């Protein structure tokens, strides 16, 4: 089984993906971490994430161990990821890794859950289950603001909200693999749902015969 979960930043798709994978015995890949790792690598090298040459170099030399870097959770990495993800060559460089993981997940997993921005539309359009997780920009900004404060990072809600809206605009309007629900995706709006309710909604859909 392949489960594709897409959605904007701080919608809860990552939490849902991890919990679904644990519940169903599937492997999990947060594809956003691939782009965050590339974006962060460019920044650490003193480059510009909008620079296609620098971003491609970082993507082609990406060390899988970099996916465990705690710094990938920062807004700095998230904004850089949104920029490198708009570069066609970078997406092509990372696409094979994602598809291989989906179709040949590490043992003993019997399938995979991938979450990101274009899993159901580009990476795994053949996925048996496609979910699109969303929430209002305000709700997502509140979650991200709370996460940053809990990690001891300085955060201003208004600035987080502005960043969320800018990332939404950039992700949904880019020419390459824009953020959009697959035609056959099930929408889960988490604006007023907690993690347990979102998991229950997803499991209810997955349990239904196709």
Q: What is the CATH number of domain 2-196?
A: 3.40.50.300
pLDDT of residue 210: 59
Strands of the 2-6 sheet, one edge to the other? 27-30, 112-116, 2-6, 129-134, 186-189
- How high is the mean pLDDT in each 10-residue block of the chain (210 residues)? 95 96 96 95 97 96 90 91 92 92 93 95 96 97 94 93 93 88 96 96 86
CA angle 165, 158, 41 (to 5 degrees): 60
pLDDT of residue 126: 97
Provide the whole-model pTM: 0.86
pLDDT of residue 114: 98
- Helix residue ranges per DSSP H, 64-124: 75-84, 88-103
With a CB cutoff of 8 Å and minimum separation 6, the contacts of 91 are 85, 176, 177
pLDDT of residue 15: 96
């Amino acid at each position: 089984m392949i489960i594709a979960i897409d959605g904007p930043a701080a919608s809860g798709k990552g939490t849902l993906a991890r919990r679904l994978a644990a519940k169903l015995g599937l492997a999990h890949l947060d594809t956003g971490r691939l782009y965050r790792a590339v974006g962060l690598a460019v920044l650490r090298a003193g480059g510009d994430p909008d620079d296609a040459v620098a971003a491609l170099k970082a993507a082609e030399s990406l060390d899988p161990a970099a996916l465990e870097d705690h710094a990938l959770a920062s807004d700095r990495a998230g904004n850089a990821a949104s920029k490198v993800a708009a570069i066609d060559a970078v997406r092509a460089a990372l696409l094979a890794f994602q598809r291989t993981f989906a179709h040949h997940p590490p043992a003993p997993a019997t399938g995979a859950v991938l979450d990101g921005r274009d899993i159901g539309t580009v990476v795994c359009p053949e996925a048996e289950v496609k979910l699109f997780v969303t929430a209002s920009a305000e709700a997502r900004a509140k979650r991200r603001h709370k996460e940053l404060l809990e990690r001891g990072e300085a955060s201003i809600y208004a600035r987080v909200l502005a960043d969320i809206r800018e990332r939404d605009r950039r992700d949904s309007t880019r020419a390459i693999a824009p953020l959009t629900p697959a035609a056959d995706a099930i929408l889960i709006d988490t604006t007023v749902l907690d993690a347990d309710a979102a998991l229950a909604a997803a499991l209810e859909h997955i349990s239904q015969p196709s």
